[in-house]
A = this chain, B = another copy of it.
Amino acid sequence: MTNVDLQKTNAVEPEARAGDARAEAFQGVRAARRNELAEDYVELIAELIHNQGEARPVDIATKMGVTAPTVAKTLDRLARDGLITRAKYRSVFLTEEGRALAKECRHRHEIVLRFLIRLGLDPETAEHDAEGIEHHVSERTLALFAAFANRS
């Protein structure tokens, strides 16, 4: 039941010891951080499939800037969590759930990126910052970003 809640970035954290809003905020941020890497991978895999026709571990390693064994281990986790399927020595496929997550990530990424550029940031820095920011933007903030990016 792990990754369904990836989607609701601003979901109420059930854990948080009652009372301290700050603790809840930090716990929420930590929860988001735990999912960032999975989101990055899924987004990249979707992109590779779209651009190259398939997602091969070697390309994932290159794009992510990590080594092949790191990719292998991470892919195992993603498979375990139901986001991808894979067979030995074969390229990687997204599950239905993985595709949904990828789509949502791409959507968020696009909005954050367009927002930053609209703000006046150069495209390169915008791309870099969007990569970091996109995982920490609530639905509400995303809506404001979209409105700003689309304003005439």
Chain A 63-84, CB-CB to B under 8 Å as 1, else 0, gives 1110000000000000000000
Interface residues of A (CB under 8 A from B): 10, 15-17, 20-29, 32-33, 36, 40, 62-65, 116, 119-122, 124-129, 131-133, 135-138, 140-141, 144-145, 148
Known A16-B65, A136-B133: A144·B122 in contact at CB below 8 Å: no
Q: Is the CB of B144 within 8 A of A119?
A: yes
Question: CB-nearest residue of chain B relative to A23?
Answer: B65
The interface residues of chain A, by DSSP majority, are classed as helix
Q: Is the CB of A29 within 8 A of B132?
A: yes
In whole Å, how far is A59's beta carbon from the nearest beta carbon of chain B?
10
